[in-house]
Amino acid sequence: MIVYTLRRLAFAVSLVWGTTFLAFVAFGLSFDPLWQFALCRPGCDPERNALIAQFHLHDSILQRYWIWLSGLPRHGFGNASVSSYPIGPELVHAAGVTAQLMALGIVLTLVFSVAVGVVSARRGGPLDGVLRLLAYVSWSLPTFVTGVLLALWLLPTNWFATGVSPGSGAGHWIRLMALPAVTLSLGLIGLYSRYVRTAMRSELRRPYAVVARAKGLGESRVVYRHALRNSLVPFVSVLALDLGAVLGACFAAEWVFRLNGLATFFIHSMSNADPFVLTAIIAMVAVVVAAFSFATDLLVAWLDPRIALP
């Protein structure tokens, strides 16, 4: 298990490094921080030259990437080339909002996908048909459409004008995150409950389940003590592979509900065409995805220890 954990951790670190490299090169070649001096006013040359010196804009893109990467431990993400504000504090706050929303949405998805999938697999009949219909409906609705509908139905009429009200404490956090997390999880539950149902129906027909029933074990014990754990392995594995799509849905939910997470920060930063801010945002997105991917890999290994074998 230790070797498996170290191997998955190395993969997560490699993923973050590779993403930062591609993002830095792509944004560095696509956006020019000197655009703000396109219509240079008299006396702006010293500012332009200072910007070139600060961000080494006359160096090659690979040299600039190495300078940026080697400076991360000491200077963090540094300052933006436009307005020269520190990138780190705003980026960390935005990433924290996105990570909280994504974590709560995944927890809701896990709980309700398992519950719906198990009930659908065990009961069958009309209840199974109704649950499958609801799953297909929730799965077919885009996250932003679900978010807008829930906001119109459940939030005050002036909410889109006033946005999120300030506050603190657990109660405010629940009010702030509950509806976006439900928006995020609804479509995911519709999708992943199908995986749980299919896996559960397959496991309940396997020889070990038949033998367990023949030995006198109750159906509930066969389901929850034996079949459920095996059914969760493909479910969690598929969820781990879809974390990028889950993060995209999370961005849609946080944008609709104005949570000021990474999606909002990214969209606002695009207007400045600042390659350093955009690279920092993509790097933080990679960190969030890698962290959740690492956690799901460990969960899969716990559910099926054979996966961790060399």
Examine the pLDDT at 134 and tell me if it is beyond 50.
yes
- Cα(288)–Cα(300) distance, integer angstroms: 19
Examine the pLDDT at 217 and tell me if it is beyond 80.
no
Mean pLDDT of 162-183: 66
Q: pLDDT-based confidence at 175, cuts 50/70/90? A: low
- Cα(131)–Cα(264) distance, integer angstroms: 35
Output the DSSP codes for 255-280.
HHTT--SHHHHHHHHHTTT-HHHHHH
**Beta pairing partners, 79:** 86
CA 193 to chain centre: 19
List the structure tokens of 274: 């600042």
- Quote the pLDDT of residue 234: 79
Q: What percent of the chain has pLDDT over 90?
A: 1
Examine the pLDDT at 125 and tell me if it is beyond 80.
no
Q: pLDDT-based confidence at 157, cuts 50/70/90? A: low
- Cα(42)–Cα(23) distance, integer angstroms: 34
Q: How far is CA 68 from CA 47, 272, 277, in A?
A: 21, 20, 12
- Determine if residue 142 is left, alpha or beta; phi over 0 gives left, psi from -120 to 50 gives alpha, anything else beta: beta
Asked if 284 and 262 count as a contact pair (C-beta separation under 8 A), the reply is yes
Q: What is the pLDDT of residues 237-266, one digit of tens each?
A: 888 778 888 888 888 888 888 888 888 888
SS3 79: strand
SS3 141: coil
- Quote the pLDDT of residue 166: 47
What is the length of the chain? 310
Burial class, 74, CB count within 10 angstroms (exposed 0-12 / middle 13-18 / buried 19+): exposed
- Quote the pLDDT of residue 113: 86
Q: pLDDT-based confidence at 46, cuts 50/70/90? A: confident
Q: What is the pLDDT of residues 84-123, one digit of tens each?
A: 778 888 888 888 888 888 888 889 988 888 888 888 877 7
- Quote the pLDDT of residue 301: 79
Q: Does residue 119 or residue 219 have the better pLDDT? A: 119
Rounded to two decimals, the pTM is: 0.77
- Quote the pLDDT of residue 201: 83
Kind and range of the H or E element at 188?
helix 170-203
Torsion of CA 156, 162, 166, 167, to 10 degrees: -10
Mean pLDDT of 47-52: 72
- What proportions of the chain, in percent to the nearest 5, are helix, strand and coil? 80, 0, 20
Asked if 299 and 236 count as a contact pair (C-beta separation under 8 A), the reply is yes
- Quote the pLDDT of residue 172: 61
Q: pLDDT-based confidence at 42, cuts 50/70/90? A: low
Q: Which of 55-64, 126-135, 166-175 has the lowest mean pLDDT?
A: 166-175
Q: What percent of the chain has pLDDT over 70?
A: 86
Spans of all domains in the chain: 87-271
Q: What is the pLDDT of residues 184-195, one digit of tens each?
A: 888 888 888 888
Mean pLDDT rounded to a whole number for the chain: 79
- Decide if domain 87-271 falls under CATH 1.10.3720.10: yes
